[in-house]
Amino acid sequence: MKIVAFDFDGTLSDSEMTVLLGKQKGVADQMEDITARAMNDEISYAESLRDRAALLEGLPLDEAEDAFSEVRLRPGAAEILSDLAEKGTHVAILTGGFERGVQAALDREGVSVDTIIANRLPNDGEVLTGEVEGPLIEGTKDEALESLAKEQDADMVNTVAVGDGANDLPMLEVAGLAVGFEPKPAVAPACDTIVSHMNELHDILATKNAI
């Protein structure tokens, strides 16, 4: 396998960035409800993301940074990322979440990846504007993975996608190997294999010679 593409929230991380941000604004319950509906494919991901971002309008930047600092990788995730890098496998994080939170979690563990495709929360220099921008609002993860494979001169059969929610379905459906990490009911049928722990994922990637 030449490329392993991970979702972030709910997969590499058991943190949910928008909920952490929502706690700072006092709207965490509303965030969780919107997130659950999107992950179960009840509303579009783009709609859910815009709705969640709108709830954050006026959040001071220092409070947003406090939320991002709480984002953590799952136990065992850093080891997987390190082993993939050592093997020379191209590692990508494709997330509808926010680049700032992804980078904070990676930095905390002292690991890095080759590609991060994520969204951003614009600000006016003091507070969040309540808007969201980036490639994975309307854009889909299958297009992102296919574009990355083309850049890396890799066949899609030599790609792995790991995800859990409805917005991961497109990349799971086009990847050579689709791995569900405790996937939502609407997602499980699209998965070639399902794991519930990073140790299991490590073993699968090892059998595919990605690690």
Q: Which residues are marked as active site?
A: 7, 9
Beta bridge pairs of residue 159: 3
Q: What are the phi and psi torsion angles at 112 (to 5°)?
A: -145, 165
Write out the H or E segment, with its range, that includes residue 4: strand 3-6
Beta bridge pairs of residue 32: none
- Asked if residue 129 lies in contact with residue 148, where contact means CB atoms within 8 angstroms, the answer is no
Tell how strand 159-163 and strand 115-119 pair up.
Answer: unpaired
In 10 A of CB 119, how many CB atoms? Answer: 20
Q: What is the CA radius of gyration of the chain?
A: 16
Q: Which residues contact 29 (CB under 8 A, 6 or more apart)?
A: 22
Can you read off the two tokens belonging to residue 48? 């859910």
